[in-house]
Chain A
């Protein structure tokens, strides 16, 4: 394999690993704030229990997010020097703002949030929790600004082959940013909702009937049921936006080869790039035309429009985009079904958690990770759908790659993959271990304190 392909796999592996954890921390920060505020208000211990348990998951996820994020920030230099050389004037300030307005905020207040609970006044602890949640959201904002600019670049001009910013407002609020940012935040909310519901269902099933588990199970399911319709709606808008700016990507997502009206919505197919057609199609007639153009005879762009005169293919590879899009949407549908069924059953005769049948509770356990699946599938759709461009119409992936010897990239790739597999296994098993331990009512493990943290001093400030 050549350096380019290896570097792409390495980047894909690293960012896929990274995104798993921010997806959790972005929304979990806000959920923790919710638990904390409920507790402040009601003084009901169940909210405190919920906070205590999930703050541990947060700490673990955050650590995973931070270390994989540091890897990310070195990648640009080690593998994609061309990226910074050509669009550095735009990417640079956005990344710098992320570090300055988000990373430090989270990192410092995380210390207070995790270690200061009984040491600083309650209001300061609540404030620290808020600032951490705010910080993670800011991180997401800046990085999504950069990423969506790479899909829909505006507000710049090329001088001597280098991009120069001309309008920062246009760059930040680029055409796909609002959709992508909203869709990502909702994705994070859903991931956390199903994670909380799944782990709480697991605790319920291993006979933990505490008020804390009841509270988190209903919070998770309620949040999921609330967000999923919004996500589907926003996803649709996101697709329409992509249709306008990256029609070749939508054509690949739909698996549509010929531009024309009355295009079906394919539920299943095997795209064959050699023959430039689909095999084993199963579709809903006029479906794609209806979704994308809101009329049965709406004209939908096809892949054959993106082949140059000389036969060079100017659209992304079809199969990965086509399949990953279906995985995402399918997972979304499963989320809709599960969360709504659960909410209806809980509301019926007001039976609450007792109203949930055991098979449904068991189904929720693997769904704890459905958010991860949908998020990764979504990103694969987006990013592979942008190929061969790195910055749409400005810079190709090939132009950005470093000329590091391929064996070197292969070695480090193998090392990263090995570590990721181990860490992912450890992470998931620790989640279930913590859940089991908490269900047996064991005390939070004793640990030494970090320093004296005086309440008076901070209160006096």
Chain B
């Protein structure tokens, strides 16, 4: 166990990285399918069917990344897990109810009597909305160090809205890639309407976190860090500009570049995520508990790590297989 030096140092770090990775994958993947849910009331009946078909084979696996993330928090940093989740008791409950509603709506809307379909469509929308809003709210509260004051609650309310808009944006870009015709044109319009939310949301978090914490301020605004980190915001700004430009010309006649907004948005999410990860490291509970203070016993972490090294590549492999199998446009009616 001393192969790489002290396991009490590198194991918590490895698990923090794993947890970060699964949160990131979750936000991107469930982000787009939650976004599709939030956008669903804007579409016609037939379009709704196609939108939901485009995420049908994926949503369950997408949500599993949340289970993995929370699982790693729980197994690797048990004290932090308790502290964070008890502090976020109500928003977590709202998120869970949202996830329940939208998850079952997928099945019920297709199987229940037709006269109930509109009801389950509403459940799908409200569930997606509740989930996105509560996740944004938790993000805001987390950035504010889980403190509860009028100011932090206000901030959390703002991030709730922005994250929801950001999810709808990535949802719209997914639809640009996965649909055609009128629905695709609509999706471009939705994306145009949503891009400001992404910009404002990332901006709000980037501006707020250094001002809430002097430690984070120093991490970013001292020499030489400020120069080393400059590419993060600069690349983000460049990507936003490119997205803006691309959306003006989409959809193209031969459907080229339809993939671009989705891919660019993923990169944007990744950049934003790295910025946050850099700010908060080494804390899991901001300014209170570090990953080293809360880590489980090394022998327990070790046994999970071994399993992870075998299983994670397999998971990524068959997830990729599913996306390959179901690539291409979501089409109209079929018989299975």
Contacts and interface: CB of A to CB of B under 8 A. Distances in A.
A14 B334 CA distance: 37
A452 interface: yes
Interface string A41-78: 00000000000000010011011101111110110111
B214 interface: no
Contacts of A293: none
Given A99-B67, A444-B336, A452 B84 contact: no
A92 B89 CA distance: 21
B329 interface: yes
Contacts of B97: 415-416, 419
Given A76-B74, A100-B315, A452-B328, A64 B53 contact: no
Contact of A164 (B107, B299, B319): B299
A81 B299 contact: no
B103 A449 contact: no
Contacts of A165: 297, 299-300, 303
A426 B108 CA distance: 8
B319 A104 contact: yes
Interface in A178-216: none
Interface string A98-135: 01110111011111101111111000000000000000
B17 to A, nearest CB: 15
A76 B70 CA distance: 10
B223 interface: no
A84 B66 CA distance: 18
B78 interface: yes
Contacts of B110: 445, 447
A78 B89 contact: yes
Contacts of A76: 74, 81
B193 interface: no
A100 B312 contact: yes
Interface in B284-301: 296-297, 299-300
| Most chain B C-beta atoms within 10 Å of own C-beta, residue among A95, A402, A450 | A450
B78 A92 contact: yes
A448 interface: yes
Interface string A431-461: 0011000000001111111111110011000
Contacts of B311: 100-101, 104
B178 A63 contact: no
Contacts of A63: 60, 103-104, 106-107
Given A64-B104, A118-B336, A458-B325, A448 B297 contact: no
B304 interface: yes
Given A78-B86, A452-B328, A100 B68 contact: yes
A230 interface: no
B332 interface: yes
A96 B308 CA distance: 9
Interface in B263-321: 296-297, 299-300, 303-304, 307-308, 311-312, 315, 318-319, 321
Interface in A304-355: none
B327 to A, nearest CB: 5
A64 B50 CA distance: 22
Contact of A107 (B64, B84, B112): B64
- For the complex, would chain B's binding face be called helix, strand, loop or mixed by DSSP majority? helix
Contacts of A453: 325-328
B324 interface: yes
B147 interface: no
B278 to A, nearest CB: 25
A85 B325 CA distance: 42
Interface string B62-94: 011011101111111011011111101110110
Contacts of B58: 111
A451 B327 contact: yes
Contacts of A433: 111-113
B322 A449 contact: no
| Most chain B C-beta atoms within 10 Å of own C-beta, residue among A100, A114, A165 | A100
Contacts of B64: 99, 103-104, 107
B22 to A, nearest CB: 10
A423 interface: yes
Nearest to B105: A63
| Most chain A C-beta atoms within 10 Å of own C-beta, residue among B92, B300, B312 | B300
A403 B86 CA distance: 8
A115 B319 contact: no
A452 B96 contact: no
A51 to B, nearest CB: 11
Contacts of B68: 99-100, 103-104
B326 A108 contact: no
B334 A449 contact: yes
A114 B61 CA distance: 13
Q: What are the 6 tightest A-B residue pairs by CB atom distance, in nearest-first order?
A: A81-B82, A92-B75, A77-B85, A111-B57, A452-B328, A451-B326
Interface of B: 49-50, 53-58, 60-61, 63-64, 66-68, 70-76, 78-79, 81-86, 88-90, 92-93, 96-97, 99-101, 103-104, 106-108, 110-113, 178, 296-297, 299-300, 303-304, 307-308, 311-312, 315, 318-319, 321-322, 324-336
